[in-house]
Structure 1
Amino acid sequence: MPYTSQYTPETLSRDELDQTSGPMVIEFGTNWCGFCKGAQAAIKVAMDNHPDIPHVKVEDGKGRRLGRTFGVKLWPSLIFLKDGEEMARVVRPDNREDIEDGLTKIL
């Protein structure tokens, strides 16, 4: 699954994420967030270099529990999971290298 361009309402539960196998990147944010929009070029380049890693963009905000279960406070927040366990986190990335470092930890 390559880079995902749009945030969508929660489609996976925390239990489902905790039980996933292999690497996965969960990105919390919103489609209207300026910080989220500004980070997309770096996120896209990094994710395009790893098309086999699932990239799930979760719309976060008031009334959205999934982000709270991960302790998300700022957008975008990228959570790098391996076999359902958080291995790395990047908040408000401003360069591809930070994202690549997170990806390296789940490969």
Structure 2
Amino acid sequence: MATVALTAENFDEVTSREGIVLIDFWASWCGPCVRFAPTYERSSEKHPDITFGKVDTEAEQAIAAKFDIRSIPTIMAVRDGVIVFAQPGALPESALESLIEQVEALDMSEVKDKLASQQS
């Protein structure tokens, strides 16, 4: 599956679905973002069951502000509507694959229970 452009119009719909959504916050003027793009694209081809989204921080400043994105690229992982990872910096391909494996291995009922106990 190719990457999906995430915008103010589709961001909440895409990220609230069941399953895994990886998000690459990027900009065209950002050298590390441009160098990371082929790695991200290759990973999207290997994992058709995962949604790979991209947020252009120049065009979608409201989304970048909502998540306090201060450095790009920033990679965020959302599973079943819950943000489970966010980190600035381009990842090497092996680290991106490791991140995917870790997100896939999460026990989401445990994650949601922890969230619920933190909010109460």
Structure-1-length-normalised TM-score: 0.77
Distance change in 2, residues 1:30/1:9 (3 Å): farther
CA pair 90-44 structure 1, distance change in 2 beyond 3 A:
farther
Say if 1:74 and 1:91, in contact at 8 Å, map to a contact too: yes
State the distance in 1 between where 2:93 and 2:25 align.
17
Which has more helix, going by share of residues? 2
- For structure 1, which segment, 73-82 or 38-47, has the greater mean C-alpha deviation from structure 2 after superposition? 38-47
The alpha carbon displacement at 1:105 in A equals 2.8
Q: Assess if the C-alpha contact under 8 Å between 1:90 and 1:98 holds in 2.
A: no
Deviating 4+ runs (over 4 angstroms): none
Alignment root-mean-square deviation, CA: 2.5
> Which amino acid in 1 is paired with 2:78?
L
Say whether 1:101 aligns with 2:98: yes
Helix, strand or coil for the counterpart of 1:24?
strand
Q: How many residues get paired?
A: 104
Q: Aligned partner of 2:39: which letter?
A: A
Higher RCO, 1 vs 2 (CA within 8 Å, ≥6 residues apart): 1
Unaligned runs of 5+ in 1: none
Does 1:36 find its partner at 2:33? yes
- Three-state SS of the structure 1 residue aligned to 2:103 is coil
Instruction: Look up the equivalent residue of 1:56 and give its one-letter code.
Output: G
